[in-house]
Amino acid sequence: MAKEPPRAWQRMLSGRRLDLLDPTPVDIEIEDIAHGLAFVARWNGQTMGDFAYSVAEHSLLVEDLFGRMNPKTPVKWRLAALLHDGPEYVIGDMISPVKAAVGPGYGELDDRLQAAIHIRYGLPAKVPVTVKKAIKRADRVSAWLEATQIAGFSILESDRFFGHPDEGLVADISIAPRPPIEVRHDFITRFNDLLAQM
């Protein structure tokens, strides 16, 4: 008797059944993304405060920073910035050293999920390289802020790993991890605001 292949799908709270190896846009729901990301901890949970600093909170910060750094960018790219870690709602957040150890398989899975998310919400499967690099710059600024404010890194360490951001860009940003339900609500609200402007 032939052995059944291992299950590669996950049942989402929306009722969707998402195939992780072959995801389709019709099985993507923003409520599932927001819920999942609000419960996935950045920095492996090693952050200060009574709540984990979630990927959803990080995504909101990256989108804000991306907008500050690229004020004339089309709204669709701000949406791409908000969704830049979207796949982590099902595959979780791995710190960079773990991703390197896992190898290219993680990146391929991430790319397939990201493409399905983008197509579902009217973005190209792959964003232009210039946009991807601009989002990555905002991501690095976010990482510096998180590292120095809640993850216990010194400014010197953070500068070495992430580069020192423009002080004027980040002077008014203060990070305080919040309850998942608040972050989930804010993520969905921001998503809907951006989608309405497209």
Q: Is the pTM of this model over 0.75?
A: yes
* Domains of the chain and CATH, by start: 25-197 (1.10.3210.10)
The predicted structure's pLDDT at residue 1: 67
The predicted structure's pLDDT at residue 4: 75
Q: For residue 66, report the phi and psi dihedrals to the nearest 5 degrees.
A: -60, -45
How far apart are alpha carbons 39 and 71 in whole angstroms? 30
Query: How confident is the prediction along the chain (198 residues), in pLDDT tens digits per residue?
Result: 677 777 789 999 999 999 988 999 999 999 999 999 999 999 999 999 999 999 999 999 999 999 999 999 999 999 999 999 999 999 988 777 777 777 777 888 899 999 999 999 999 999 999 999 999 999 999 999 999 999 999 999 999 999 999 999 999 999 999 999 999 999 999 999 999 999
How far apart are alpha carbons 103 and 94 in whole angstroms? 12
